[in-house]
Chain A
């Protein structure tokens, strides 16, 4: 019996879909059997980021309305043998085509065959959000170090805490070292103390995330990329390993750290 994890944020554009694609890929790289479910009906993207767009035949709404079996709608990612699958969202209808009960049944069925089901949630707190959360056992909240994203994360955490699921965990995405070091943006501590939930991991901002998404291959497949490392660490934490948090500092050592270095030598 697998575990269903919803990836949500409230605000749009913080990297839910990118995180879903990368975490799914990272878990598959770790040898787990993963199914990604795109619940952003009407505005699907996950298929594009995974490079599976032209292999979609049936979608989530087709399954729910009984036009096909689940197995027919699942798109296999050939790069990972039999470990990574995508259940794409429909593009021709909207979020009201599905009810939370139907979603719950669907996810329960998928949990029988997969170790992890990652549910990519649409932005907002309306029907699409309710559908995405309905079948989940755990939740991951994605935010960026911007005040607007943190506010929306706060709202969504409040809503998630009312659901019958484990307390949500946090991913801080698109961290820019230079802005944090200059103190021009919220740092990791500010955000975690404001939201007061467990931090699952941080992901540094990197241009390659965009370029590799455009090519249809999640950045996590490149082991040398700093953002990929963040996603790989998060995947290992999801699997229960304890991985230390990567440091945000890169800059030159300050006076005190030099002094400390002098004494520890």
Chain B
């Protein structure tokens, strides 16, 4: 067996970084990792980040690595980082960042779903349903149901020219619009719904969105 180090340890102020060699055999790596983790030189509870380099790490393998590192008791893995992902994951990420546009009216009983953001140009009528993994933007009246961040994204928002929805959902939170909220929408003002830090859905002027969710902006440059 080669004497080349397959696990290098680097200390930073945030804890240790374990850099795993990406060329050696996986079994050698696990063996070495086990030895390093048991090293009596490491003492006290330490947070560890693991970098796997260009080695693809399946969920199964990642669990195995975490288990070995943590078996010593005093190390805690805060994150595993890899330079590679599968095509599938990559496509999914691209889709989540993409915006899909639906032009037309979402009528009663119809459902429009998007894997990323959703832009609807037209009304969403009562009992119509729009749902997206990202945010939902409606140029028209939202009078039906809208579910933003349906895969759990709590940063997602629902914005509409007229926000008169019967049900608003963001991630796992749901809000049914009461009469009280309906009074708010009598003012012809564009509004957006977002998940407030206290965990309930709040509605605010659309103009405030840039302050509430600065991360939504993808525009680069300009002056």
Residues of chain B within 8 A (CB-CB) of A155 are 107-109, 127
Residues B96-153 near A (CB distance < 8 A): 104-105, 107-110, 123, 125-127
**CB-nearest residue of chain A to B144:** A154
- Tell me how many residues of A have a C-beta within 8 Å of chain B: 10
Bin chain B's interface residue count.
Answer: 10 to 19
1/0 per position for B16-55, CB-CB distance to A under 8 A?
Answer: 0000000000000000000000000000000000000000
Give the nearest-CB partner of A158 in chain B: B107
CA–CA, A159 and B127, complex, Å: 14
**Nearest residue, chain A, Cβ from B127:** A151
Q: Which residues of B contact A194 (CB under 8 A)?
A: 123, 125
Min CB distance A151 to B, Å, is 6
Q: Which residues of B lie under 8 Å from residue A161 when comparing CB positions?
A: 104, 107
Please give, as numbers and ranges, the residues of chain A lying within 8 Å of B105 by CB-CB distance: 158, 196
Chain B residues with Cβ below 8 Å from A152 are 108
- Asked whether A157 is an interface residue with its Cβ less than 8 Å from the other chain, the reply is yes
- Contacting pair B108 A158 (CB below 8 A): yes
B104 to chain A: which residues have CB within 8 Å?
A: 161
Q: Are A151 and B123 in contact (CB under 8 A)?
A: no
Rounded to whole angstroms, the CA-CA distance of A196 and B128 in the bound complex is 15
**A149 shortest CB reach to chain B, Å:** 12
Q: How far is the CB of B1 from chain A (nearest CB, A)?
A: 66
Q: A157 to B125, alpha carbons, bound, how many Å?
A: 12
B107: which A residues are within 8 A, CB to CB? 154-155, 157-158, 161
CA distance A155 to B129 in the complex (A): 12
Mark B73-116 against chain A: 1 for CB-CB distance below 8 A, else 0: 00000000000000000000000000000001101111000000
Cα–Cα, bound, A161→B110 (Å): 11
Bound-state Cα–Cα, A157 to B127, Å: 13
What is the minimal beta-carbon distance from A29 to any residue of chain B, in angstroms? 35
Q: In the complex, which residues 154-201 of chain A have their Cβ closer than 8 Å to any Cβ of chain B?
A: 154-155, 157-159, 161, 194, 196
CB distance from B123 to the nearest CB of A (A): 7
Task: For the complex, give the distance between the alpha carbons of A161 and B105 in Å.
Answer: 10
- Tell me the minimal C-beta distance from A218 to chain B in angstroms: 31
A158, A161, A194, A196: residue with the most chain B Cβ atoms closer than 10 Å: A158
Which of A151, A157, A159, A196 is close to B126, meaning CB atoms less than 8 Å apart? A151
Q: Which chain A positions have C-beta within 8 A of B125? A: 154, 194
> Smallest CB–CB gap between A177 and chain B, Å?
26
A-side contacts of B109, CB under 8 Å: 155, 158-159
Question: Which residues of A have CB within 8 Å of B127?
Answer: 151, 154-155
Instruction: Give every chain B residue within 8 A of A158 (Cβ-Cβ).
Output: 105, 107-110
Which of B107, B123, B125 has the largest count of A CB atoms less than 10 A from its CB?
A: B107
Minimum CB distance partner of A154 in chain B: B108
Q: Report Cα–Cα, A131/B203, bound state, in Å.
A: 45
Query: Closest residue to B123 on the A side, CB-wise?
Result: A196
Per-residue B-contact encoding for A57-98, CB less than 8 Å = 1, 0 else: 000000000000000000000000000000000000000000
Residues of A within 8 A of B123 (CB): 194, 196
How many Å lie between the Cα of A157 and that of B106 in the bound state? 10
Q: A154 — which chain B residues lie within 8 A by C-beta?
A: 107-108, 125-127
Contact mask A209-231 → B, CB, 8 Å, 1/0? Answer: 00000000000000000000000
Tell me the complex Cα distance, A161–B128, Å. Answer: 15
> Chain B residues with Cβ under 8 A from A196's Cβ?
105, 123
In the bound complex, what is the Cα–Cα distance between A158 and B104 (angstroms)? 10
- Which residue of the partner chain B has the closest CB to A10? B108
User: In the complex, which residue of chain B has the Cβ closest to the Cβ of A125?
Assistant: B109
Docked Cα-Cα span, A161 to B103, in Å, equals: 13
Inter-chain CA distance A155–B126, complex, in Å, is 10
For the complex, what is the distance from the CA of A57 to the CA of B123, rounded to whole Å? 49
CA of A154 to CA of B110, assembled, Å: 10
Cα-based distance from A220 to B1 in the complex (angstroms) = 99
Determine the distance from Cα of A194 to Cα of B162 in the docked complex, in whole angstroms. Answer: 13
Please list 18 pairs of residues, one from A and one from B, whose beta carbons are closer than 8 Å in the complex, sorted by A's number.
Answer: A151-B108, A151-B126, A152-B108, A154-B107, A154-B108, A154-B125, A155-B107, A155-B127, A157-B107, A158-B105, A158-B107, A158-B108, A158-B109, A158-B110, A161-B107, A194-B125, A196-B105, A196-B123
Closest 6 pairs between A and B when the two form their complex, measured CB to CB = A158-B107, A155-B108, A154-B108, A155-B109, A154-B107, A158-B110
Given contacts A151-B127, A158-B105, 5 further A-B contacts (CB under 8 A): A154-B127, A155-B107, A155-B108, A155-B127, A158-B107
